[in-house]
Structure 1
Amino acid sequence: MQVLLLASSFALAGYAGVRLLSGDWLGVTLWFVGAAVLHDLVFLPLYATVDRAVTGVLGAVGRRERTLYVRVPAALSGLLLLVWFPLISGRVADSYESATGRSADGFLARWLLITAVLFGGSAVLSVLRLRRETKQRPPADH
């Protein structure tokens, strides 16, 4: 069963690749290679450095286990930025409005609001966890 599922997945990916490359195969290939190089040479070192800095700061204050409360909202916000970058940056053709019937305005404000909610919710969860941990600790004897 797994072999059949794997073969079906490869067949579907192959079909999608053939359809994708049927129009402008050189442009698509250049974009794909460029995106891979940009990710590996620019973005990966950038977010690895930021992650090390956050982990270092939280480790210095004795809260290294809280790193996920920064990583998760940052990753989700970054993913939203990546997917909606043309609309967030305002670099979208007039064809967007004619194709969807919606204005391309307001995406930056919505993305910032979603990012603030993600980090705010993460901060609330972190505070709740900290409160629960302090309540469960036995009092120190003096």
Structure 2
Amino acid sequence: MTGARSAAAPLRTLLMLASFAVTAYAGLRLLEGGPVVGILIWFVGAALLHDMVLLPLYGVADRALQGVLVRRRPGAPPSPVVNHVRVPAFVSGVLLLVWYPLILGLSDNYRRYSTLDPDVFRGRWLLLTAGLFAASALLYVARMLLASWPREDRDAGAE
């Protein structure tokens, strides 16, 4: 096994160098002819905002969620109910992060460039978020019902 690892090391190094080259090329293309200072401020601001503001908020929200939803003994495994809230909240948050100008009605140029109505995004995002939470709740209920069936009934039904 050691021989296979040492033989793969030059290939990994080559792939890492290639990925750095592609990243450098993309970075140069991004900064070419654009507001370099504005882009750099955006990247640094996004990193600082995420690491210093949002990450602690994620932690506090997760602890609060676990405190509300999970009543367990110390050392007991975590309850799966937390993940049935985390996943739809995460997907909804990513969608909000990507589409926030349209969801919050901050994009004045959208109608002019696309000739589409921008007023539908908030309702659709809320509907999608509600659907994600509803699907997650149904999945949780199905998991709990399946777990409550006697073991021999589940094994007999699988045959």
TM-score per shorter chain, which class?
0.7 to 0.9
Does 1:41 find its partner at 2:56? no
Question: Equivalent residue of 2:119, what SS?
Answer: coil
Identity %: 48
2:139 is matched with: 125
Gapped regions of structure 2 (runs ≥ 5): 1-10, 153-159
Gapped regions of structure 1 (runs ≥ 5): none
Structure 1 residue 45, shift from structure 2 partner? 1.2
Does 1:101 find its partner at 2:115? yes
1:56/1:64 contact within 8 Å kept: no
Structure 1 residue 84, shift from structure 2 partner? 0.3
Matches within 5 A, 1:55-74: 55-60=66-71, 64-74=79-89
Q: Provide the rounded CA distance (Å) in 2 between the counterparts of 1:112 and 1:64.
A: 27
Q: Provide the rounded CA distance (Å) in 1 between the counterparts of 2:62 and 2:140.
A: 18
Structure 1 stretches of 4+ with a deviation exceeding 4 A read: none
**More deviation in 106-115 or 14-23?**
14-23
Q: Provide the rounded CA distance (Å) in 2 between the counterparts of 1:3 and 1:97.
A: 48
* Cα 1:114–1:52 shift into 2, 3 Å: same
Q: Provide the rounded CA distance (Å) in 2 between the counterparts of 1:136 and 1:21.
A: 62
Does 1:116 find its partner at 2:126? no
Structure 1 residue 9, shift from structure 2 partner? 1.9
Q: Provide the rounded CA distance (Å) in 1 between the counterparts of 2:125 and 2:112.
A: 22
* Cα 1:93–1:16 shift into 2, 3 Å: farther
What amino acid does structure 1 have at the position aligned with 2:111?
E
**More deviation in 12-21 or 106-115?**
12-21
Question: Equivalent residue of 1:60, what SS?
Answer: coil
* Cα 1:54–1:3 shift into 2, 3 Å: same
1:14 is matched with: 24
- Structure showing greater Rg: 2
Structure 1 residue 61, shift from structure 2 partner? 6.7
Aligned residues: 137
Q: Provide the rounded CA distance (Å) in 1 between the counterparts of 2:125 and 2:150.
A: 38
